Structure 1
Amino acid sequence: MTLDDLRVFVAACESGNLSAVARELSRTQSAVSQHVRRLETELGLPLLERRPRGVAPTQAGRILHRAAVQGLGQLDLALRQLRDLRTGDRGTVRITTGATTMRHFMTGAVVRFRREHPDVNLEFRTESSSRSCFDALAAGEADLAWVTIGAAVRGIEQRPVIELPWVLAVHAADPLAERTLIEPADLSAIHPIRLPGNSIARARLDGELGYLQGPTTSVADWDSAVLLAELGLGHAVVPALPGWRAADLPALRLIPIPALPPLPVGWAVRQWDALSPLAREFADSVSSHAEA
């Protein structure tokens, strides 16, 4: 029993005429009859009843016809979806990342990608840390993860896209606000607003500065840290994210800390070569916008 046998049989049931099926499929009537006989021989039951003006399915034929129509319909749908994935016209791209990534790194790329691929599903999953993003990739729950690049993770490939310089976010009335740059030694007296302990960015910063002393406030993301600094509730050492503009933050100052090594961010995947064309195109689009 082959798919070709089933397709010919379904066409014969729906047409009721073997000659018409032969013309439709550009085959001889003898070849059409051979497909049906092969099925009947394999199943040991007559499937078509020959009549003076054509053919009609037997009881066994009706059973097989119903099953074949459903099965072939699902198979044709799956084959179309696979062709779409191969050519990049449809499909789903699943992205996992932190809460602020969309705003700062992906807005322009998402708009462009959506215009170019209106039928593609984009699924975004927010995680609290890069480590959680790695877990989602490992579990097969995401295709791409935008992360802070860190130590090698088994089974995960990381590709840096850009490096973010560090800045000190302070209220405009803070004594440090008039500085043109901040040295690491200047941070010993600040009231730090810190990211969670499981953050790769926090671990990298602690490795450079040590644990900052004084009363602290902990937040889940960089935007929250900057907001608290703007309210005058502490000082935030944060990477300079795209989208933070002085005109939009009149009560805030972002002062460079050039002595700190920049923070690399970019993509993580299970295997680059195994990404769908859509996922690769999305990743390349985000990378281009971020680099620009």
Structure 2
Amino acid sequence: MTLDDLRVFVAVCRAGNLSAVARDLGCTQSAVSQHVKRLERETGISLLERQPRGAVPTEAGRILQEAASDSIAGLDLALRRLTNLVNGDVGSVRIATGATTVRHFMSEAIVAFRHRYPNVSLEFHTENSSRSCFDALTNSNLDLAWITIDSPVRGIEQRPVVDLPWALAVRADDPLAQRSRIEPADLLDTRLIRLPENSTSGMRLDDAFAKLGVRISSDTSVADWDAALLLAELGLGCAVVPALPGRLGSGEDRFHLRLVPIPALPPLSVGWAVRRWDALPPLARVFADTVGQRCAEGSTAQ
């Protein structure tokens, strides 16, 4: 059993397809299969169940996949830290983010970090949800993931950075734009632009409305917060969105858009996810702290 065997096996479990892994690795499907067969010979049990459209781990395979993923991630992290020790302030920080995260939460921090560490590479990997960020963090050598704080995830530590109040994004010429605050009941007759159903923020919003006994209707959905703001600006409806740092109360006049607070909705907590904070490479920790500091400054300014 070799480290390559385990890496290939974990990749197959994740992709669900031997040929896809072979393409990624630039080898033959037979070579990928040999790695898996070697593990099965040494463990004495079947690890993959072959299906017409791919392969899925057996119960034993899932046990090995979880253990191997944790071990490989820890080893990759250790090797990265050793590299940073050798090279000093030359290295890289790898971050998983959502589609709009960098613009709204990290732009100022990136500039500050780059001035301080001009030779450090920042690598951003875009994911479409917090759940996919968790998966990417678990199954690769990423350092950090920016996520909506969620229920505990095995092998992942979450650290809140900023709480985002909810607001109604509405055109300035809409009667609701003249209010100083919005109550959830005010939205009963309003057709809202819906956040993605599979997103943590969308599910949190649905749960909050349900607990308040408010049923919301919607005939338009979007892929992210920015798209919701754009459609609201175009007059295609109103959108309940997290008020990003520095935006709530700004009036958004140049966009003909107002963000009106909805205090009854509990804030949405966002922040960092890592495998282990105490094992985070120093450069990644500095970057995480820099983002946290800039977000705190933006929240104070609201």
Q: TM-score, normalised by structure 1?
A: 0.69
Deviation of 1:250 (Å): 3.8
- Confirm whether residue 280 of structure 1 aligns to residue 280 of structure 2: no
Task: Indicate the SS of the match to 2:107.
Answer: helix
Q: Which residue of 1 aligns with 2:276?
A: 271
Q: How many residues align?
A: 214
Out of 227, 241, 247, the residue aligned to residue 244 of structure 2 is 241
Deviation of 1:212 (Å): 4.5
More displaced 10-residue stretch of structure 1: 189-198 or 231-240: 189-198
- Confirm whether residue 217 of structure 1 aligns to residue 225 of structure 2: no
Residues of 2 paired with 1:267 and 1:125: CA distance?
Answer: 14
Deviation of 1:121 (Å): 1.0
Out of 242, 258, 275, the residue aligned to residue 253 of structure 1 is 258
Out of 259, 267, 271, the residue aligned to residue 262 of structure 1 is 267
Percent identical among aligned pairs is 63
Larger Rg: 1
Amino acid at match of 2:208: E
Residues of 1 paired with 2:132 and 2:102: CA distance?
Answer: 17
Q: Which residue of 2 aligns with 1:68?
A: none
Q: Which residue of 2 aligns with 1:51?
A: none
Tell me: CA distance 1:85–1:232, structure 2 relative to 1, closer, same or farther (3 Å).
Answer: farther
Deviation of 1:88 (Å): 4.6
Task: Indicate the SS of the match to 1:89.
Answer: coil
Structure 2 unaligned segments of length 5 or more: list them.
1-78, 298-302
Contact 1:192 1:212 in 2 (8 A): no
Contact 1:167 1:240 in 2 (8 A): yes
Contact 1:81 1:90 in 2 (8 A): no
Residues of 2 paired with 1:92 and 1:254: CA distance?
Answer: 37
Residues of 1 paired with 2:158 and 2:80: CA distance?
Answer: 32
Residues of 1 paired with 2:172 and 2:282: CA distance?
Answer: 47
Q: Which residue of 2 aligns with 1:165?
A: 165
Q: Which residue of 1 aligns with 2:124?
A: 124
Contact 1:171 1:252 in 2 (8 A): yes
5 Å matches for 1:66-215?
82=82, 84-85=84-85, 88-210=88-210, 212-215=215-218
Amino acid at match of 2:226: D
Contact 1:85 1:278 in 2 (8 A): no
Amino acid at match of 1:113: F
Residues of 1 paired with 2:280 and 2:190: CA distance?
Answer: 45
1:108-161 superposed Cα distances (whole Å, 9 cap, x missing partner): 110011111111111001111111100101102421011110111111100001
5 Å matches for 1:14-33?
none
Deviation of 1:169 (Å): 0.4
Structure 1 unaligned segments of length 5 or more: list them.
1-78
Tell me: CA distance 1:283–1:205, structure 2 relative to 1, closer, same or farther (3 Å).
Answer: same
Tell me: CA distance 1:185–1:120, structure 2 relative to 1, closer, same or farther (3 Å).
Answer: same
1:261-289 superposed Cα distances (whole Å, 9 cap, x missing partner): 11111100011111110000100110011
Q: Which residue of 1 aligns with 2:233?
A: 230
